[in-house]
């Protein structure tokens, strides 16, 4: 059985890919995520993606599903230190 836990090491590629798509450095993205300041990052998304994200965030069921995902839980643990 494969260990599916997220660690900083296996989360790095995800962070790097997201940073590349947003046109920022992985370190900058990590700082913004850690501080909760994602507004400026979201403005860098293309209009279509901004709209999709806005609709997703307005959908309580979709948000719950995202927050409960193993990846989101790993990020939450990482950023809260729990």
Does residue 9 surpass a pLDDT of 80? no
Per-residue pLDDT tens for 14-65?
A: 788 888 888 888 898 888 887 877 777 788 888 898 888 888 878 889 888 8
- Is 0.85 surpassed by the pTM of this model? no
The predicted pLDDT at position 7 comes to: 64
- Kindly list the domain boundaries of the chain, sorted by start residue: 8-80
- What one-character-per-residue DSSP string does 24-60 give? S-HHHHHHHHHHT--HHHHHTS-HHHHHHHHHHHH-H
Q: Which of 75, 67, 81, 65 is nearest to 7 (CA)?
A: 75
The predicted pLDDT at position 33 comes to: 80
Does residue 1 surpass a pLDDT of 70? no
The predicted pLDDT at position 6 comes to: 61
């Amino acid at each position: 059985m494969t260990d599916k836990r997220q660690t900083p090491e296996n989360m790095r590629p995800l962070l790097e890919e997201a940073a590349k798509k947003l046109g920022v450095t992985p370190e900058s993205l990590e700082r913004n995520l850690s501080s909760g300041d994602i507004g400026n990052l979201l403005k860098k998304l293309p209009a279509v993606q901004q709209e999709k994200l806005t609709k997703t965030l307005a959908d309580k069921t979709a948000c719950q599903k995202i927050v409960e995902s193993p990846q989101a839980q790993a990020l939450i643990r990482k950023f809260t230190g729990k």
